[in-house]
Structure 1
Amino acid sequence: MGTSAKFAATVLLPLVLAACASSDEVRSITYTDDRGVSNQPFPNNYKDEILSFMRTYLNNPVGVRNAVMAEPIQRVVGGRLRYVSCLRFSPRNSDGNYAEPRERAVLYVDGRLDRIIENASEPCAGAVYAPLPDLEKMTR
């Protein structure tokens, strides 16, 4: 199996399923077997993984506005030390209007995107954001 096929099988398929589960409620969805290892590697491909995920997470990935992201930093989440990257963006609704900005925390396990926390106020407190123009340029 090629690298892109492995990526699709291990990351994109679960992400497609997660797209159906999005709301602003407090919950998270995990995609990897979290072994609880505290010595976590830095997620080197975090931008590519986030953009791939957002293509399936958003109902309409076209026309996102005000996209900003904080680089991954280590935070304690659920009692475990993890790398967390924070996102804030305004998605376009089905009627063409823009929703209020959303803040999401992206957690990484073993250097790979593991889950999105939709109520990200605590893990993203004090995050330092930078523009993420690639999220605003997404197509279907």
Structure 2
Amino acid sequence: MRRSAKFAAMMLLPVLLSACAASDDGKSITYTDDRGVSSQPFPKNYRAEVLAFFKTYLNNPVGVRDAVMAEPVERVVGGRLRYLACLRFSAREPDGGYREPRERAILFVDGRLDRIIENAVEPCAGVAYAPFLELEKMTR
């Protein structure tokens, strides 16, 4: 295979894989098997799970600023009652600068981290934030 053909095949692979993973009904893909059970257990290890997730989620987990997190609360998300923990922080940009802190909601299903909701102003309204220093101290 010529180099340009090999490069084109490598560039097409993520598109093909994402097409296979997408569902026809527009539902998001989750990490857990959300069976729609209404009574959900409290996510006991939520802080450790959030740290582990963000260590891989962030391009550069070093240098996070202004990290605050709220304990999980029950909210209706997608028509289902789920626990979610709200998080706000500023991650370091590739150029070394920082954007304004953004709110994110971490959704839990069956007590385990399921997915992140970006720009979660509405689901996080009224939560009580506390410093989340562990996120600011992350390393690669």
Q: Could you list the runs of 5+ residues in structure 1 that have no partner in the other structure?
A: 1-26
Partner of 2:69: 69
Aligned-partner Cα distance in 1 for 2:120–2:30: 15
Alpha-carbon distance between aligned partners in 2 of 1:29 and 1:127, rounded to the nearest angstrom: 26
Is the CA contact 1:28–1:115 (under 8 Å) kept in the aligned structure 2?
no
> Per-residue displacement from partner, 1:34-75 (whole Å, max 9, x unpaired)?
000010000000000000000011110000000000000111
Change (3 A) 1:139 1:28: farther
| Cα distance in structure 2, aligned partners of 1:28 and 1:54 | 19
Q: Max radius of gyration: which structure?
A: 2
Shift of 1:28: 5.7
Superposition map of 1:1-140 within 5 A = 29-140=29-140
Deviation (angstroms), 1:29: 4.6
Counterparts of 1:28 and 1:66, CA distance in 2: 29
**Cα distance change of structure 1 residues 61 and 95 upon mapping to structure 2, 3 Å threshold:** same
- Paired AA for residue 126 in structure 1: G
Query: Given the two structures, how large is their TM-score scaled by the length of structure 1?
Result: 0.79
Name the CA shift for 1:28/1:128 in 2 (closer, same or farther; >3 Å): farther
Cα distance in 1 between the residues matched to 2:76 and 2:104? 16
TM-score (norm 2): 0.79
Distance in 2 between the 1:49 and 1:28 partners?
A: 20
Q: Is the 8 A contact 2:102 2:119 kept in 1?
A: no
- 1:110 & 1:42 partners in 2: Cα distance? 8
Cα RMSD (Å) of the superposition?
1.3
Q: Which runs of 4+ in 1 moved over 3 A?
A: none
Between the aligned partners of 2:120 and 2:56, the Cα distance in structure 1 is 19
Other structure's SS at 1:100 match = coil
Aligned-residue identity in percent: 76
Distance in 2 between the 1:66 and 1:74 partners? 24
Change (3 A) 1:136 1:107: same
What is the number of equivalent residue pairs in this alignment? 114
Offset, 1:99: 1.5
Unaligned runs of at least 5 residues, structure 2:
1-26
